[in-house]
Every structure is written in C-alpha cells, then in structure tokens.
Amino acid sequence: MGDRRSAPGRDPEAVRGLIDQLRPVVQADGGDLELVSVDTATGVVRVRLTGACSSCAISTSTIQLGVERILKSRFPWITSVEGELEELDFETSAALGRGGWVPLQPRRS
C-alpha cells in the first residue's frame, strides 16, 4: 500500500481492515476490491475494482455511494475515495459476471 505520509490517530491498517470486510460483497458479483493507497495527511484513499466489477455499469456508484460512504462514516478524517478500474476486454469481463451485473458495451470505432 502506498502510504507515504501518516498523521497521528489515522491508521491505514484500520482502513485496510474495513476494505477486507467489504470485499466479499464485491466478490459475490465476480469482482474484487483492492486498497491501493491511503494518504493519512490529506485523507485521500485510492481503491481499485477488478474482475467483472471493473466494467460494470455501476462501478462508479459502487465506489462513491458504497465504498466512500462506508469509509467516511467509519473514519471522519477521510476526505475522498478515488477509484481505479482494471482494464479487461468485454468477453473476459462478461465471463466473470454473476448476479445483477450489467456489463458496459465495448466502444466501436
């Protein structure tokens, strides 16, 4: 994890622990949630959605309305959660999906 700066009372490992509790929900839809970095000085947390979740039509909502909301409610010092998406081709992503997952359509040139 890329924690370069640490502020008193702000524990990156506590953030990692909560992310680990959220992962089974994302994994149930064929994806995963990874903690990329925690900057305790600025309160910015970076996460990555992988697998089927990286191409899901609601991936932004998962990060903003799900992960960010939960992390901010538990850790008031977190100011924002920024997300990254794993790059997968459409067929690979579709093969990973389960449940109510809806894939994004590939761009046509």
Q: Would the pTM count as exceeding 0.75?
A: no
pLDDT of residue 70: 93
d(CA 26, CA 17): 15
Mean pLDDT in order along the chain per 10 residues (109 residues): 59 95 87 92 92 71 84 95 74 57 54
Domain ranges of the chain: 12-93
pLDDT of residue 12: 94
Question: Out of 3.30.300.130, 3.40.50.12780, 3.60.10.10, 3.50.50.60, which CATH number does the structure's domain 12-93 have?
Answer: 3.30.300.130
Tell me which DSSP letter residue 8 carries: T
- Which is nearest to 61 in space by CA: 97, 21, 98, 102? 102
pLDDT of residue 16: 95
